[in-house]
Amino acid sequence: RAKYVVGTAKELMAKPGGGAKWLALLRDRELLEVIEGLCTLPGVGPKVAACIALFSLDKNQAIPVDTHVWKVATQYMLPELAGKSLTPKLSIVVADAFVAKFGEYAGWAQNVLFIGQLPAKKLVATEVTSETAKPTKRKRATKMVEIQA
């Protein structure tokens, strides 16, 4: 993955005005144009482009579709697609379904639904002692750790 980071950094610096200016200009573009532009960067596909658009470029309707979002979509919104494999065309269908249901903040809605689907065993709580803080895996039912300054 490091080669993609280096390649992307080089590509961004080569953009007219530099990468920061090019990325800032994407904020004023339509979502499809933003995703297409980001996908020209090394290692950036539609899902990563949608993540960048949603979390960094104010494109609140961007839907980063992966297998987890696919699971949410087929379970709650598009049950007729359950059992099918996720394809680029079906990614667009999923994104459109989220936008139809949740409107201009569909990207954030899918993010909340995605987080809600994470298994409890993946949640990590931080155990804080007077000397160190170390991550430990906890179940949801355990008590919350009080953090003292």
Q: How far apart are CA 93 and CA 63, in angstroms?
A: 11
Q: Which structure tokens are listed for 14?
A: 């080569």
Q: Which listed residue (15, 47, 122, 143) is catalytic? A: 47
Catalytic status, residue 47: yes
Return phi, psi of residue 124, to 5°. Answer: -120, 125
How much is the CA Rg of the chain, to the nearest whole Å?
19
Residue 135 to residues 36, 69, 73, 129: CA-CA distances in angstroms? 38, 27, 32, 11
**Furthest-apart CA pair in the chain: how many Å?**
53
Q: How far apart are CA 78 and CA 58, in angstroms?
A: 26
Reduced to 3 states (helix: H, G, I; strand: E, B; else coil), residue 141 is: coil
Q: Which residues are catalytic?
A: 47
